[in-house]
Amino acid sequence: MNFWKKLKKPIMVLAPMANVTDSAFRRVIAKYGKPDVMWTEFVSADGLFLGGYEHLIKDLAFTEEERPIVAQFFTGNPEMMEKAAELAGDLGFNGVDINMGCPDKSVEKQGGGSASIKNPLNAQEVIRAAMRGASKNGKNLPVSIKTRIGYNKNELETWLPTLLETNPAVITLHARTRKEMSAVPARWEHIKRAVEIRDNFVDSNGKKSETLIFGNGDISSLEDAEKKVIEAGCDGAMLGRAIFGNPWCFNRDLKKENVSIPDRLRVMVEHTKLFEELLPHKSFAIMKKHYKAYVNGWDGAKELRMKLMEAKDANEVGGILKGYK
């Protein structure tokens, strides 16, 4: 059941980003430049089982074309994480990921995201709970973790072994601390050090670690990711911001700069229609950040972008683009 072991390295995966990599955008990405693995947006495990199920379950919708796909949850409560991981298995996901890196204060208040770094023993309990949940009902989903190199300072030497002791399938490391947010460049030398720690790690049973290490942070393109992976010696990379306005990001045969402007706009409209169809419960304003990314780099792009910012639905977007050359 551990699909990670079947993938060819380096493994290139799509980062989970709230109100970005939703089901609509993932479908577009799967069609035009599919990564090796996809992640859902993060979902609150507490919210799922303490009153918000009907709303949050929509964020766990996916299609067969998106496989392999991993459901990402956050919580500081092992019991809630166990339930969420079990749900992921019942829904047919290929894996479960635990968000231990998000700096959002509302996430941290629930003991999830970056707050996990400050409570390492509880973090281990949450991971083990996820593994219990992921192995229920005849399932055996691999559990992975996305985190940072530390909270207020670099804590890799202690934080990473704490995680490795639980034997997760993958650890994705964002090469900054929680305190740094994105204010400083990602330091990929820490990813290289993480690989060294993993390679020298022996757990309490005397077993060497088989956990994959992925790097994350300041990756501009697939080529940049491949270069960084080689330099760090890690097993793969997670790409986030590089995907904005660029569903061709993971496509080795077609780069965004080689896609014609009419084709870019056509895919943008396709994305918009999917958003409206699949996510009627979400604000249409979410699409505006995508328009900023899709529509740039040519004469007249700014004027078109300004018009799109005023659009209220897919029909208006289509009208604005009708006859645009």
Tell me the domains of the chain and their CATH numbers: 3-243 (3.20.20.70), 260-321 (no CATH)
Predicted confidence (pLDDT) at residue 135 exceeds the cutoff of 80: yes
More confident residue, 31 or 324: 31
**How far apart are the C-alpha atoms of 81 and 88, rounded to whole Å?**
10
Q: Could you give the C-alpha distances from 289 to 18, 56, 272, 286, in angstroms and in order?
A: 12, 22, 12, 6
What percent of the chain stands above pLDDT 90? 92
Predicted confidence (pLDDT) at residue 325 exceeds the cutoff of 80: no
Which one is catalytic: 85, 102, 141, 156? 102
What percent of the chain stands above pLDDT 70? 99
Predicted confidence (pLDDT) at residue 299 exceeds the cutoff of 90: yes
Mean pLDDT score, 146-166: 98
249 is catalytic: no
Question: pLDDT value at position 68?
Answer: 98
Question: pLDDT value at position 74?
Answer: 97
Question: pLDDT value at position 298?
Answer: 93
> How many Å separate Cα 287 from the centre of its chain?
18
Question: pLDDT value at position 120?
Answer: 97
Per-chain mean pLDDT for the chain = 95
Mean pLDDT score, 79-105: 97
Question: pLDDT value at position 261?
Answer: 93
Mean pLDDT score, 206-232: 97
Cα dihedral sign, 121-122-123-124: positive
- pLDDT tens, 16-60? 999 999 999 999 999 999 999 999 999 999 999 999 899 899 999
Q: Could you give the C-alpha distances from 320 to 37, 66, 158, 233, 309, in angstroms and in order?
A: 35, 31, 54, 47, 11
